[in-house]
Amino acid sequence: MLEKKSIEYEKAVLIGVMNQHQDEAKVKEYLDELEFLTYTAGGEVEKRFVQRIDVPNPKTYIGSGKMEEVRQFVKENEIGSVIFDDELSPAQQNNVEKLLRCKVLDRTSLILDIFAQRAKTSYARTQVELAQYEYLLPRLTGLWTHLERQRGGIGMRGPGETEIETDRRIVRDRIALLKKKLAKIDRQMETQRGNRGSLVRVALVGYTNVGKSTLMNVISKSDVFAENKLFATLDTTVRKVVLGNLPFLLSDTVGFIRKLPTQLVESFKSTLDEVREADLLLHVVDISHPNFEEHIASVNQILDEIDSSGKPCIMVFNKIDQYRPETIDEDDLVTERTTAHFTLEEWKKTYFNKLGDKALFISALNKENMDEFRKRVYDAVRDIHVTRFPYNNFLYPEHLDEY
Ligand SMILES: Nc1nc2c(ncn2[C@@H]2O[C@H](COP(=O)(O)OP(=O)(O)OP(=O)(O)O)[C@@H](O)[C@H]2O)c(=O)[nH]1
Ligand SMILES: [Mg+2]
């Protein structure tokens, strides 16, 4: 019998704010990404609300007039979730939920939700669950302090308080348990990594959806899940790859994103150890994305957070087949030329100037420029190999025609 497949998308609205640091174009880009996240999580965006506001309202994040507009829309259109682009304080989330009477998510909880849906192995699931509880804990506290302030503490003792205290205790116990479980898996993983011997280790890193897994599949002939959604990969895959006569280990791991929740960075410690312990990073960039330079900055920031920014690194600009610069009409005398109008050649020049032979332009999908990619990776791995095993140098002469 044929399986009847119908995907039901939950209706959602997005809320963003415009301030001194975020102009209209920036807010649009951020909300585009939030919409992609929402779609990945199984939601369909019905409308975006944007408010010009410099200091967020401490109670409801956006002002009361805008909130009323949102409330009307939510009520009339059977909206399931309202999603804010920024992190809400526990009190704000609580207040807004009461006002709108629907689910209220922020960027962090949305990303956590996607990770929860996508975690397949028990290891990934444990890491996500830990991050979720870490997110929840101050929110239980927030609920309580919020009520306490309102009612002055008196009358709050009794079942209400006990209930929250119990909840908090349960969550704390669960966090302790998950941490223990992860510590145990961490030790196993460490031993596993130790068993891999002294092979040079190369890690694919980059923003989510840039093509890391696709590239992994091309060069290691493996079959890692790749998809046009965010966070297709949560677990790390490691493959032994041989280029010419040179074997090394290549790992594909979780993608990064702007404002990656700190809870996730912490609980994915072991997954990220693969990056931390790598000898060489291949920083993959989706050059066809209008925001790719900001993506590079976000990735570099996270690399810095996990003490990995000083490693040898090759910037791999992927998806050159899909790159389209913005154009200016001939009779348009107003629009100024910016980097958005750069041709691919101009980008190449820019990055070759900046990084020399540490920049590379390819299409993993069409297998364009893959020979050069292999050569650069070979050279970089060989450099590391000969410093590690100087006596072994004769094994790896420079015969570039071999691979
Ligand atoms: N046009 C084009 N699309 C590509 C290229 N490389 C990858 N893609 C597509 O980009 C999407 C994301 O690819 P993945 O390999 O899953 O990306 P990833 O970086 O592993 O993503 P996460 O695991 O989600 O972080 C898929 O739809 C790929 O088919 C390329 O060179 N050109
Ligand atoms: Mg992937």
- What is the pLDDT at residue 136? 86
Tell whether ligand 1 has an atom less than 6 A from the beta carbon of residue 223.
Answer: no
Cα–Cα distance, 87 to 51 (Å, whole number): 16
Tell whether ligand 1 has an atom less than 6 A from the beta carbon of residue 308.
Answer: no
Listed in sequence order, the residues at least 6 apart from 24 whose beta carbon sits closer than 8 Å to its beta carbon are: 18
Listed in sequence order, the residues at least 6 apart from 390 whose beta carbon sits closer than 8 Å to its beta carbon are: none
Tell whether ligand 1 has an atom less than 6 A from the beta carbon of residue 353.
Answer: no
Q: Do 107 and 79 form a contact (C-beta atoms < 8 A)?
A: no
pLDDT at 397 over 60: no
Q: Do 14 and 48 form a contact (C-beta atoms < 8 A)?
A: yes
Tell whether ligand 1 has an atom less than 6 A from the beta carbon of residue 198.
Answer: no
pLDDT at 4 over 80: no
Cα–Cα distance, 233 to 208 (Å, whole number): 9
Ligand 1 nearest-atom number relative to CA 226:
16
* Residues forming beta bridges with residue 84, ordered by sequence position: 15, 106
Cα–Cα distance, 78 to 81 (Å, whole number): 9
Ligand 1 nearest-atom number relative to CA 364:
31
Question: What's the burial of 329, exposed, middle or buried (CB within 10 Å: 0-12/13-18/19+)?
Answer: exposed
- What is the pLDDT at residue 161? 58
Nearest to 262 by CA among 113, 123, 175, 134: 134
pLDDT at 114 over 60: yes
- Mean pLDDT over all residues of the chain? 85
Most confidently predicted of 8-17, 117-126, 252-261:
8-17
Cα–Cα distance, 233 to 229 (Å, whole number): 10
Which DSSP string corresponds to 174-217? HHHHHHHHHHHHHHHHHHHHHTTTT--EEEEEEBTTSSHHHHHH
Q: String of b and e for 103-136 (b: at least 16 CB within 10 Å)?
A: ebbbbbbbbbbbbbebbeeebbbbbbbbbbbbbb
Cα–Cα distance, 392 to 388 (Å, whole number): 9
Q: Provide φ and ψ at 321, rounded to 5°.
A: -65, -25
- What is the pLDDT at residue 273? 84
Q: Is 101 left (phi over 0), alpha (psi -120 to 50) or beta?
A: left
Looking at all shown ligands, the one closest to residue 364's CA atom is: 1
Question: Which parts of 207-330 are beta strand (E)?
Answer: 237-243, 246-252, 280-286, 313-318
Cα–Cα distance, 388 to 390 (Å, whole number): 6
- What is the pLDDT at residue 380? 94
Tell whether ligand 1 has an atom less than 6 A from the beta carbon of residue 211.
Answer: yes
* Residues forming beta bridges with residue 283, ordered by sequence position: 205, 315
Cα–Cα distance, 36 to 21 (Å, whole number): 22
Tell me the pTM: 0.85
Question: Could you tell me the CA-to-CA distances from 238 to 6, 139, 203, 253, 259 in Å, in that order?
Answer: 35, 37, 9, 9, 26
Question: Percentage of the chain with pLDDT > 70?
Answer: 87
pLDDT band at 162; cut points 50, 70, 90: low
Which protein residue's CA is at the shortest distance from atom 12 of ligand 1?
A: 209
Which protein residue's CA is at the shortest distance from atom 8 of ligand 1?
A: 211
User: Using one digit for the tens of pLDDT, what is the confidence trace for 190-236?
Assistant: 787 777 677 899 999 999 999 999 999 998 876 667 777 777 777 78
Which of the 8 DSSP states describes residue 396? S
- What is the pLDDT at residue 400? 44
Q: Is 279 left (phi over 0), alpha (psi -120 to 50) or beta?
A: alpha
Tell whether ligand 1 has an atom less than 6 A from the beta carbon of residue 231.
Answer: yes
